[in-house]
Amino acid sequence: MTAREYNFDGLVGPSHNYAGLSFGNVASFSNVKSESNPREAALQGLAKMRALAARGFGQALLPPHARPNFALLRSLGFTGSDAQVISSAAKTSPVILAAAYSASPMWTANAATVSPSPDTADGRAHFTPANLNNKLHRSYEHVQTARALRAIFHDERHFAVHDALPPTPAFGDEGAANHTRLCADHGAPGVEMFVYGRVEFQPDAPSPRRFPARQTREASEAVARLHGLDPRRAVFIQQDPDTIDQGVFHNDVIAVGNGNVLFYHQQAFADEAASLDGLRRVLADTGADLVAVRVDASDVTVADAVGSYLFNSQLLSRPEGGMALLVPRECRENAAVDRYLDRLVASGGPIDELLTFDLRQSMRNGGGPACLRLRVALTEQEAAAMHQGVIMTEALHARLVPWVQKHYRDRLAPADLADPQLAVETCAALDELTGILGLPSLYDFQC
Ligand SMILES: NCCC[C@H](NC(=O)CCC(=O)O)C(=O)O
């Protein structure tokens, strides 16, 4: 069946800020407390969406979440009017207020794991929102994510949106950032590769020492079961714990796959040879030959990969054939990575085009092009059955840019989160957005 991949990018919300909330994510930690520019962040994201839509790629968006999360703040004992809740949180615990204000849902690679219909037992596309329970500021995203996914993929004949896994360390789940689908074609049955950082029920299994492993094998296996994947086409691979300790907090910081191509760093996996052999064998059963594009540490070190986000790129099958790699500007600013990329596109391999985007605002929080998008492969029928208002077009882009310019601040310092006006502005912005996207009652404040 013909199918097309849609990239659902997270529309950056009005409270985008640098709060240093993600221990183990080098960029988040090093830019802590600097000033952000939410307007520029949203416009950078929209420019990427527009460019890909214009090139004929399937492009859509997921809306930001309401901020601050008053339910979180109230559940932690802050009381009174909304303004009083903000002011007492700001005085007592600025870090909790920052967690309630985080615009982290913009990184939709962590919104959910998606299995397209050719892979699942009931022939529907399955979604499991990620519980993201390793970080307070991300641990409550799944509630609104499930609501948005159910609003967009509402037709239960085609789509199943599950609840997130139990929010406990045994089932730490970070969604599609640790999940890659390899296939002959988006519409053909594929192999779903799950990469985990540790094993809860096997304490002697290797795990990182310095930084947390956010994804467990148990979580990945549960998602595969929920989605009804054929066990012969689901592969579970351990990430190299040493690279997690070097800042590779998700597999999508060290590998990216598309079609039959896996672009990865030699230190991505705990056991490279066995992982690649297994993938090759399983993929061969679907009629596809794995093309492994391995980057050697002698060409690009793990530190360069983390600093440039070379692997947090989007690997895209062009409608007219061939593959393009969409990288952040930081890749061209790193001498070793820049040299490598020039060689890569000249090598005669599957990747023959580079697209470079300025996503600096997101990058400074450790989110590159791949973090900003959730891939959903859809048949024509499924694409027609989803909510159409989130599909990126010139017309939607032309409405969203002035909406951003009207509502978003161009500077946000940590202390600004204490300003009750920011909550009022955010609410007004999102209320108007639901009209633009045709998604009424998307947020609690609208019920
Ligand atoms: N896939 C990319 C995710 C980046 C995200 N960063 C953050 O949440 C940083 C937020 C802050 O520090 O303000 C994370 O680490 O999960």
One digit per residue, the tens of pLDDT, for the chain of length 447 reads: 689 999 999 999 999 999 999 999 988 888 787 999 999 999 999 999 999 999 999 999 999 999 999 999 999 999 999 999 999 999 999 999 999 999 999 999 999 999 999 999 999 999 999 999 999 999 999 999 999 999 999 999 999 999 999 999 999 999 999 999 999 999 999 999 999 999 999 989 999 999 999 999 999 999 999 999 999 999 999 999 999 999 999 999 999 999 999 999 999 999 999 999 999 999 999 999 999 999 999 999 999 999 999 999 999 999 889 999 999 999 999 999 999 999 999 999 999 999 999 999 999 999 999 999 999 999 999 999 999 999 999 999 999 999 999 999 999 999 999 999 999 999 999 999 999 999 999 999 886
**Same domain, residue pair 119 and 96:** no
**Same domain, residue pair 7 and 48:** yes
Cβ of residue 250 lying under 6 Å from some atom of ligand 1? yes
Enumerate the known binding-site residues for substrate: 19-28, 110, 137-138, 214, 252, 365
Cβ of residue 28 lying under 6 Å from some atom of ligand 1? yes
**Same domain, residue pair 79 and 183:** no
Question: Of 268, 295, 322, which residue constitutes the final position of a domain?
Answer: 295
57 falls within a domain: yes
Give catalytic status of residue 174 as yes or no: yes
**Same domain, residue pair 162 and 32:** no
304 falls within a domain: no
Q: Ligand 1 atom 1: the closest Cα is on which residue?
A: 371
230 falls within a domain: yes
**Same domain, residue pair 186 and 252:** yes
86 falls within a domain: yes
Cβ of residue 68 lying under 6 Å from some atom of ligand 1? no
**Same domain, residue pair 133 and 268:** yes
> What span, in angstroms and rounded, lies between the C-alpha atoms of 281 and 133?
34
- Residue 22 C-alpha to ligand 1 middle, in angstroms? 6
Q: Which atom of ligand 1 is nearest to the CA of 110?
A: 1
Question: Of 295, 328, 355, which residue constitutes the final position of a domain?
Answer: 295
pLDDT at 447: 62
**Residue 98: CATH number of its domain:** 3.75.10.20
**Same domain, residue pair 143 and 291:** yes
Nearest to 326 by CA among 308, 312, 344, 343: 312
Residue 238: C-alpha distances to residues 115, 131, 198, 262 (Å): 20, 20, 7, 16
340 falls within a domain: no
The catalytic residue among 16, 158, 186, 250 is 250
**Same domain, residue pair 278 and 191:** yes
Question: Of 242, 273, 295, which residue constitutes the final position of a domain?
Answer: 295
Phi, psi for residue 430 in degrees, rounded to 5? -70, -35
- Residue 135 C-alpha to ligand 1 middle, in angstroms? 9
**Same domain, residue pair 135 and 83:** no
**Same domain, residue pair 20 and 130:** no
pLDDT at 26: 86
Give catalytic status of residue 330 as yes or no: no
322 falls within a domain: no
Containing domain of residue 435, as a range? 1-107+372-447
**Same domain, residue pair 259 and 148:** yes
Does ipTM come in above 0.95? yes
Cβ of residue 109 lying under 6 Å from some atom of ligand 1? yes
Q: SS3 string of the chain?
A: CCEEEEEEEECCCCCCCCCCCCCCCHHHHHCCCCCECHHHHHHHHHHHHHHHHHCCCEEEEECCCCCCCHHHHHHCCCCCCHHHHHHHHHHHCHHHHHHHHCCHHHCHHHCEEEECHHHECCCCEEEEECCCCCCHHHHCHHHHHHHHHHHHCCCCCCEEECCCCCCCHHHCCCHHHHEEEECCCCCCCCEEEEEECECCCCCCCCCCCCCCCCCEHHHHHHHHHHCCECHHHEEEEEECHHHHCCCCCCHHHCEEEECCEEEEECCCECCHHHHHHHHHHHHHCCCCCCEEEEECCCCCCHHHHHHHCCCCCEEEECCCCCEEEEEECHHHHCHHHHHHHHHHHHCCCCEEEEEEECCHHHHCCCCCCCCCEEEEEEEHHHHHHCCHHHECCHHHHHHHHHHHHHHCCCCECHHHHHCHHHHHHHHHHHHHHHHHHCCCCCCHHHC
- Residue 288 C-alpha to ligand 1 middle, in angstroms? 35
Give catalytic status of residue 425 as yes or no: no
Question: Which pTM was predicted?
Answer: 0.98
Domain count, the chain: 2
363 falls within a domain: no
Q: For residue 151, what are the contacts with CB-CB under 8 A and spacing of at least 6?
A: 387, 439, 442
**Same domain, residue pair 114 and 99:** no
Cβ of residue 134 lying under 6 Å from some atom of ligand 1? no
pLDDT at 269: 98
99 falls within a domain: yes
